[in-house]
């Protein structure tokens, strides 16, 4: 087991932010500045082309720390953020850019590339979770949630299916092709976001992935608008969903 090594620490507006590495994988852990009490942990998966400190990630992290008192962790996916791209990454990204420029569907490239990244990322997330649970303020038996949209769902579905420590997940905005069979093995509560007028992922494809989860408790949030119109208020809904299932009250209005 790789141990967790902290490399930097800062604090602002009630949130302590610590950079860490587990093996070669860099991450960030956000925690409430107020106390050392044990609190649930939420793992944040970033989107394709983004990284552990993308504004969407840090915004969700702050919301979950200050609103729910959670610890929140993000790591860079392979080929993302501070991690080097391989020749394979470069080829797939070039192919995605080519398809986009040619007006061709990007689904086939994204599905294939993200499925490969998920094979690498799932064991990295599990090693990070092992290491994070070694911290006294998190502990080995506390509740763990996952929140990741788009590529964060391409990685999140196999992660949640493989990892019994994760007991609630917020997912969404991904093609079902590589994920449906794995989603059928997921039984923990799921909140799933999709865009009703998504120009990239057909409506039926989004509904099919939601339908696949075996979870007795699952909620679909479908909002009018295109792919990148995914509304910011869904982060607030996600915080409330995670608070409900990981056992914390939401203390700040949003």
What minimum distance in Å lies between the beta carbon of 1 and its own copies? 36
Place of tokens 């995605």: 96
CB of 223 to its own copies, least distance (A): 5
For its own copies, the closer CB: 70 or 113: 70
Structure tokens at 28: 């960030």
Q: Comparing C-alpha atoms, which of 129, 6, 9, 142 is closest to residue 69?
A: 142
Other CB atoms within 10 A of residue 144 CB: 24
CB of 191 to its own copies, least distance (A): 10
Q: Is 58 helix (H, G, I), strand (E, B) or coil?
A: helix
Distance in angstroms (rounded) separating the CA atoms of residues 150 and 136: 32
Q: Which residue has the tokens 């997330």?
A: 125
Query: What's the min distance (Å) between Cβ of 29 and its own copies?
Result: 25
Binding site for its own copies (CB under 8 A): 196, 207, 210-211, 215-224, 233, 236-237, 240, 244, 249-251, 253-254
Q: CA–CA separation, 36 vs 196, rounded Å? A: 42
Comparison of 130 and 217: residue with beta carbon closer to its own copies: 217
User: Which residues are CB-contacts of 207 (< 8 A; sequence separation ≥ 6)?
Assistant: 194, 220
Whole-number minimum distance, CB 250 to its own copies, in Å?
5
Q: 74 or 183: whose CB is closer to its own copies?
A: 183
Residue of 85, 77, 63 whose CA lies nearest to 158 = 77
The whole-angstrom separation of Cα 240 and Cα 188 is 16
- Is 102 or 224 the residue whose CB approaches its own copies more closely? 224
* Comparison of 23 and 231: residue with beta carbon closer to its own copies: 231
The smaller minimum CB distance to its own copies, of residues 23 and 247, is found at 247
Give least dist CB 54 to its own copies, A: 24
Do residues 223 and 252 lie in contact, with contact meaning Cβ atoms separated by under 8 Å?
Answer: no
Q: Which pair of tokens denotes residue 98?
A: 């080519």
């Amino acid at each position: 087991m790789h141990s967790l090594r902290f490399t930097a620490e800062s604090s602002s507006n009630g949130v302590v932010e610590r950079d860490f590495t587990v093996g070669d994988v860099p991450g960030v852990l956000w925690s409430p500045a107020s106390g050392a009490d044990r609190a649930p942990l939420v793992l944040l998966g970033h989107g394709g082309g983004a990284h552990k400190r993308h504004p969407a990630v840090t915004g969700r992290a702050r919301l979950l720390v200050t609103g729910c008192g959670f610890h929140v962790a993000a790591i860079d996916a392979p080929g993302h953020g501070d991690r080097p791209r391989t020749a394979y990454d470069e080829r797939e990204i070039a192919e995605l850019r080519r398809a986009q420029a040619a007006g061709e569907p990007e689904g086939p490239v994204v599905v294939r590339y993200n499925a490969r990244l998920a094979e690498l990322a799932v064991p990295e997330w599990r090693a990070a979770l092992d290491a994070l649970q070694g911290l006294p303020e998190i502990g080995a038996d506390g509740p763990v949630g996952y929140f990741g949209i788009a590529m964060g769902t391409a990685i999140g579905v196999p992660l949640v299916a493989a990892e019994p420590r994760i007991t609630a997940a917020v997912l969404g905005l991904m093609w079902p092709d590589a994920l449906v069979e794995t989603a059928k093995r997921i039984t923990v509560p799921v909140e799933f976001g999709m865009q009703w007028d998504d120009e990239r992922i057909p409506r039926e494809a989004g509904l099919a992935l939601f339908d696949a989860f075996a979870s007795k408790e699952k909620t679909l949030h479908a909002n009018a608008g295109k792919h990148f119109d995914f509304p910011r208020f869904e982060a607030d809904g996600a915080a409330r969903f995670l608070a409900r299932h990981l056992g914390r009250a939401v203390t700040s209005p949003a």
